[in-house]
């Protein structure tokens, strides 16, 4: 392995670990806050929370893929020491984000005003509209501020960014608990989110100028050529984002509109648990994009191929037991997490949506490679196809099948999309599918048979944290041993045995 490969691998592992720890902290907080908020706010107001969160998620589309463009461009220009080009791209992205924030206010305010009466009637809360509008203002401010975490990602300063986010996560969580404990309503929650978000991004901005002393953000750096460069990349990234929002957020909105009260919570519990698992692992793969961009700028195409296969295999090692665990431990986990009364309504949807978890994480590796190479056109069109099929199936299946119908409408298109993206990326990198499956999938799938046997033999565990932890560990320990054996290179007597076999064959 060359020195460049070693540095790339070390950078990827450090960035992946810090990103993972930051999101793991977010996941832990969400894990404990979800049942607390359901109990403290009550199901009707928590329904409002879920619907508003889903609606506002669509306004993050005003990012327009610019952040993804900025990450890739900063990585490329920093790798080649092109400081003027970096300043032009950063200033142009900031100008676009400022315009996007204004558009968010102009379009979002009327939409939320129209939605508020229905939500107020269903929840009985009198502060739904102020809550919505302040959360919209928070989103509008986040858009221009998002250039700073994007710049840090492009510089591969994942650890510094993660530390800041964890610290402000703790502050935000403390504020949420204090507000909910005081029974102050929904509006103070929005105040906590807004204040901590603005402060967090201010600290990230300070880090950007520290790590990149030559960074300049000014009107004079914005020109048509740079804007065209941003548009060329960000259009496809935006279409992919649009498709992702439709795929992830439409279900909760459709359930909230067409199904009885309380069904949004049942669907949201299942969807969030699967999405938490996906995002926990996808967070690791986001560190691939700037690394791939820098490797491409240096002409290291063989390194990109090696990284693709290696990252796929290790991400599958991580996701396979999680995927299996959702099926084997989903019922007792839900009973202990949110309460027995939610199990029968949420677990079938959880099981259906979990079917795409492993292939979805493998697809995440592929998509990060495509983002790093700037090859997003076909990827974005395929994502739009997934979103369209998702929407059609959701509207068709929600009435007759309820929450399970929505879960099916999410799972089927996503599975088809993931398989396509993986095959397309392998072909783009000139990797035969047979080689991809052997190098990426074979060992994780074989290792996954171990926890399947253990957990199937043990049967369902009691819905207590202790029993769940012991049951999971019973399968994970032998799984980890098998993975270690699969990844251990021949040494000592094993090398001598291989040499003897080679001699005998000759």
156-165 per-position pLDDT tens digit = 888 888 889 8
Answer whether residue 44 is part of any domain: yes
Structure-token pair, residue 93: 């992205």
- pLDDT top residue among 346 and 60: 346
For residues 298 and 429, membership in a common domain is answered with yes
Asked if 196 and 138 count as a contact pair (C-beta separation under 8 A), the reply is no
pLDDT confidence tier of residue 1, bands split at 50, 70 and 90: very low
198-224 per-position pLDDT tens digit = 999 999 999 999 998 888 888 888 888
Asked if 239 and 319 count as a contact pair (C-beta separation under 8 A), the reply is no
Instruction: Out of 169, 204, 222, pick the residue that ends a domain.
Output: 222
Res. 506: pLDDT tops 60: no
If one counts the domains in the chain, the total is: 2
Give the Cα separation of 454 and 450 in Å (integer).
6
pTM: 0.69
79-96 per-position pLDDT tens digit = 777 888 888 988 988 998
- Beta strand residue intervals within 21-91, DSSP E: none
Answer whether residue 227 is part of any domain: no
Answer whether residue 29 is part of any domain: yes
Answer whether residue 229 is part of any domain: no
Res. 307: pLDDT tops 50: yes
Q: Side-chain half-sphere of 107: how many Cα atoms within 13 Å?
A: 15
- pLDDT top residue among 310 and 16: 310
Provide the 10 A C-beta neighbour count for residue 266.
24
For residues 176 and 292, membership in a common domain is answered with no
Q: What is the percent of the chain where pLDDT is above 90?
A: 30
Neighbouring residues of 486: CB distance < 8 A, sequence distance ≥ 6: 443, 446, 447
Containing H/E element for 501? helix 493-505
Give me the numbers of helices (H) and strands (E) for the chain, helices first please: 20, 0
For residues 167 and 312, membership in a common domain is answered with no
Residue 442: which of 305, 306, 320 has the closest Cα? 320
For residues 199 and 298, membership in a common domain is answered with no
Residue 86: which of 290, 240, 285, 369 has the closest Cα? 290
Asked if 62 and 365 count as a contact pair (C-beta separation under 8 A), the reply is no
30-78 per-position pLDDT tens digit = 777 777 777 777 777 777 777 777 777 777 777 777 887 888 888 888 8
Residue 104: C-alpha distances to residues 204, 236, 237 (Å):
23, 20, 19
Asked if 152 and 208 count as a contact pair (C-beta separation under 8 A), the reply is yes
Mean pLDDT along residues 408-423: 93
φ, ψ of residue 338 in degrees (nearest 5): -115, -10
440-455 per-position pLDDT tens digit = 999 999 999 999 999 9
Asked if 68 and 233 count as a contact pair (C-beta separation under 8 A), the reply is yes
271-286 per-position pLDDT tens digit = 888 888 887 788 778 7
pLDDT for the residue numbered 184: 63
Mean pLDDT along residues 453-477: 93
For residues 276 and 388, membership in a common domain is answered with yes
Instruction: Out of 201, 222, 243, pick the residue that ends a domain.
Output: 222
Answer whether residue 204 is part of any domain: yes
Answer whether residue 241 is part of any domain: no
Answer whether residue 321 is part of any domain: yes
Give the Cα separation of 250 and 394 in Å (integer).
8
pLDDT confidence tier of residue 11, bands split at 50, 70 and 90: low
Mean pLDDT along residues 235-239: 73
For residues 273 and 336, membership in a common domain is answered with yes
For residues 65 and 187, membership in a common domain is answered with yes
Dihedral sign for Cα atoms in the order 73, 76, 78, 84: negative
For residues 166 and 287, membership in a common domain is answered with no
Neighbouring residues of 390: CB distance < 8 A, sequence distance ≥ 6: 246, 247, 250, 409, 410, 413, 414
Instruction: Out of 204, 222, 240, pick the residue that ends a domain.
Output: 222
Q: What mean pLDDT, rounded, does the chain reach?
A: 84
Residue 346: C-alpha distances to residues 255, 335, 398 (Å):
13, 10, 15
Among 92-96, 287-291, 400-404, 433-437, the minimum mean pLDDT is found in: 287-291
Q: Side-chain half-sphere of 69: how many Cα atoms within 13 Å?
A: 28
Answer whether residue 4 is part of any domain: no
C-alpha 129: how far from its chain's center? Answer: 29
For residues 144 and 260, membership in a common domain is answered with no
Provide the 10 A C-beta neighbour count for residue 286.
20
DSSP 374: T
Among 183-192, 328-337, 420-429, the minimum mean pLDDT is found in: 183-192
pLDDT confidence tier of residue 493, bands split at 50, 70 and 90: very low
For residues 19 and 167, membership in a common domain is answered with yes
DSSP 339: -
pLDDT confidence tier of residue 239, bands split at 50, 70 and 90: confident
C-alpha 233: how far from its chain's center? Answer: 20
Residue 234: which of 99, 122, 93 has the closest Cα? 93
Res. 3: pLDDT tops 70: no
Res. 133: pLDDT tops 60: yes
Structure-token pair, residue 310: 């290696």
For residues 217 and 279, membership in a common domain is answered with no
Res. 394: pLDDT tops 90: no
pLDDT for the residue numbered 7: 57
For residues 207 and 260, membership in a common domain is answered with no
| Domain coverage including residue 67 | 12-222
């Amino acid at each position: 392995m060359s020195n460049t490969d070693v540095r790339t691998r070390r950078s990827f592992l450090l960035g992946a670990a810090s990103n993972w720890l930051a999101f793991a902290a977010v996941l832990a907080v969400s894990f404990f806050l979800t049942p607390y908020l359901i109990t403290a706010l009550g199901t009707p107001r928590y329904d409002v929370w879920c619907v508003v969160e889903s609606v506002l998620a669509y306004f993050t589309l005003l990012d327009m893929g610019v952040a993804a463009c900025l990450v890739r461009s900063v990585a490329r220009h920093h790798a080649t020491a092109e400081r003027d080009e970096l300043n032009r791209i950063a200033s142009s992205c900031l100008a676009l984000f400022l315009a996007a924030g204004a558009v968010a206010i102009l379009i979002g305010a009327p939409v939320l005003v129209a939605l508020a009466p229905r939500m107020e009637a269903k929840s009985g809360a009198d502060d739904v509209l102020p809550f919505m509008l302040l959360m919209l203002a928070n989103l509008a401010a986040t858009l221009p501020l998002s250039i700073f975490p994007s710049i840090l990602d492009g510089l591969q300063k994942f650890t510094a960014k993660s530390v800041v986010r964890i610290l402000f996560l703790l502050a935000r969580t403390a504020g949420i608990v204090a507000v909910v404990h005081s029974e102050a309503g929904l509006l103070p929650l929005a105040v906590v989110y807004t204040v901590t978000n603005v402060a967090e991004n201010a600290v990230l901005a300070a880090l950007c100028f520290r790590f990149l002393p030559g960074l300049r953000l000014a009107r004079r750096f914005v020109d048509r050529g740079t804007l065209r460069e941003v548009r060329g990349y960000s259009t496809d990234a935006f279409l992919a984002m649009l498709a992702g929002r439709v795929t992830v957020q439409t279900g909760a909105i459709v359930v909230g509109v067409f199904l009885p009260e309380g069904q949004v919570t049942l669907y949201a519990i299942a969807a969030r648990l699967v999405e938490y698992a996906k995002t926990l692992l996808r967070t690791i793969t986001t560190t691939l994009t700037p690394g791939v961009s820098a490797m491409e700028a240096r002409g290291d195409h063989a390194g990109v191929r090696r990284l693709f296969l290696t990252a796929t295999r290790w991400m599958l090692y991580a996701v396979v037991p999680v995927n299996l665990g959702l099926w084997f431990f989903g019922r007792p986990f839900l009973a202990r997490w949110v309460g027995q009364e939610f199990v029968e309504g949420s677990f079938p949807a959880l099981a259906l949506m979990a079917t795409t978890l492993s292939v979805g994480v493998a697809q995440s590796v592929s998509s990060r490679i495509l983002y790093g190479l700037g090859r997003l056109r076909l990827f974005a069109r395929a994502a739009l196809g997934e979103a369209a099929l998702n929407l059609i199936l959701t509207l068709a299946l929600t009435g007759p099948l309820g929450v399970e119908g929505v879960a099916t409408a999410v799972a089927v298109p996503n599975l088809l999309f993931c398989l396509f993206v993986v095959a397309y990326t392998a072909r783009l990198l000139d990797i035969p599918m047979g080689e991809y499956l052997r190098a990426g999938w074979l060992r994780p799938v074989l290792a996954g048979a171990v926890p399947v046997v253990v957990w199937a033999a043990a049967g369902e565990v009691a819905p207590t944290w202790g029993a769940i932890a012991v049951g999971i560990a019973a399968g994970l320990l032998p799984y980890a041993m098998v993975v270690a054996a699969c990844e251990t290179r021949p040494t000592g007597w094993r090398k001598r045995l291989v040499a003897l076999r080679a001699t005998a064959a000759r």
